Structure 1
Amino acid sequence: MADGDPGRGAGGRRPRENWAWPTSSLLGGLAPAARERLLALGAQVRYPADRVLMRESERTTFVLILLDGVVKATGRTHDGRDALLAVRMGGDLVGEFAGVDGRPRSATVTTCGPVAARSVTRGDFLDCMQRDPRIAHAVNASIVTKLRVANSRRIDFTGCDAATRLARVLHQIALTYGERAGEGAVIRWPITQPELATLSGAAEPTVHKALRRLRETGVVSTGYRTIRVEDLALLSSIAFDAGDADDADDAEDAGDAGAGL
């Protein structure tokens, strides 16, 4: 596409009625008529796992409406590491910041598995919002929610030790993107320990130790490309009821706390 669309992926069209989006997502929260108007934009595309869809600082302005699958947004830190900034899944918008203001991409977006989406040019995206105030309101609300979540995470981490920060990150990911399974939830997309470290504002060895303690106490278990939270209530207790504390881990992490976000 003229504005930098990464191209169509392989595969046939999946019936739209097979998709189900969380009510908290943009698509899930729209009224059916408005949703259909939004989904009529652009062209359907499919991407394989580990495909880079957008690169930080590049000047492309297309917007992706995620239909199915999970992507991660990463950014480069001052010391050259890749920091995991956010995760998006079916029902969410990706790339709307550049779609709205036309400025360079603020993050690199990579698929965490097969992804289906609709790729929309900036012109069509802006025209749709201008013509349909309900869609414009939903997009603006989605952007504000993302900013509020980012701010809340920074505030919640103030004064917490590294283990508590990790528990809060896992709890948020499990509730937002996990598949409920009994008393727990399964996160079925790959998230690495370095990515958990940047989300937690902690050094990687500290996250490794904290994750090991969570496994040993039966709170979480890990498998190939998955993390299973065995007991969400117990993880919530660890994340939010343990109280704020400063410990040796925080001293170790002081130089890294601001690098991940």
Structure 2
Amino acid sequence: MDGGRRSRAESGRPYKERDWPGASLLGRLGPADRDHLLTLGARVPYPADHVLMWEAEQTDHVLILLSGLVKVTGHADDDREALLAVRMRGDLLGELAALDGQPRSATVTTCGPVVTRTVPRAEFLACLRDRPRVAHAVNQSVVAKLRAANTHRVNFIGCDAATRLARVLHHLAMTYAERDGDSAVIRWPITQPELATLAGASEPSVQKALRRLRGKGVVTTGYRSIRVDGLEQLRSIGYSEA
């Protein structure tokens, strides 16, 4: 850790509004509130495949993700690990434990190198108390995550495994991948078991669906990456054929 607060200039380069996705916490804030939030806590870099938070651990700090991607996982009743979500730069992590003081609800692991600001609970809550616009943006962020989870479940009702997988891959490609026209590359490791949990399908069903997508030339799978060669075709498979 850097042991204290750092200004925008001290962090190496200024953070600009265009840097932050509009749906992220930092993207929801105005410049003054965003700049204040970015002075809280300590700036901390982490390597790939590093666990930032463990499910059920009794910690209550929050992390503001400045760069990189992380995956959020939890354990099902049969002890399988389920991929719950992916978070990107500008997102807030760990806010539930900070707000209610309960154990962590999920495990957060880095997908490649990331940089965060690690903010103690007391400092985070003081910011929410003193800056209503930040508190409102945090509330919006929590609600957006809940709505996304509900939409994810509802969209899968009545769909077969291949359709669900196509929808998952399309969402990941549109939200987190490097786009190039009708193609996109997801350059972070996502395993077939994780795809299966996201799609609410068995691993053999996902393997079969992936083979079909590869056979149609829609996706190409590689080491720690997935390339979508036809975003529009993938969207058609996931939605038009449902």
Q: Is the pair's TM-score, using the shorter chain for normalization, greater than 0.5? A: yes
- 1:135 aligns with 134
**Identity of counterpart residues, as a percentage?**
63
Root-mean-square deviation over aligned CA pairs: 1.5
CA 1:34/1:13 → structure 2, altered by over 3 Å: closer, same or farther? closer
Alignment: residue pair count: 234
User: SS at 1:114's partner residue?
Assistant: strand
- 2:84 aligns with 85
- 1:200 aligns with 199
- 1:240 aligns with 239
- Match for 1:53: what amino acid? L
User: SS at 2:140's partner residue?
Assistant: helix
- Match for 2:168: what amino acid? V
- 1:190 aligns with 189
1:20 Cα offset (Å):
1.9
- Structure 2: distance between partners of 1:14 and 1:216: 46
1:199 Cα offset (Å):
0.5
Deviates more, 1:223-232 or 1:108-117: 223-232
Q: Deviations over 1:132-156 (max 9, x none)?
A: 1111111100000000000001100
User: SS at 1:195's partner residue?
Assistant: helix
- 1:4 aligns with none
1:29 Cα offset (Å):
2.4
User: SS at 1:69's partner residue?
Assistant: strand
1:13 Cα offset (Å):
4.7
- 1:158 aligns with 157
TM-score, structure 2 normalization: 0.93
CA 1:210/1:234 → structure 2, altered by over 3 Å: closer, same or farther? same
5 Å matches for 1:44-83? 44-83=43-82
1:14 Cα offset (Å):
4.1
Deviates more, 1:119-128 or 1:227-236: 227-236
- Match for 1:233: what amino acid? E
User: SS at 2:112's partner residue?
Assistant: coil
- Structure 1: distance between partners of 2:127 and 2:218: 45
- Structure 2: distance between partners of 1:221 and 1:73: 24
Q: Any gaps of 5 or more consecutive residues in structure 1?
A: 1-6, 244-261
Q: Any gaps of 5 or more consecutive residues in structure 2?
A: 3-9
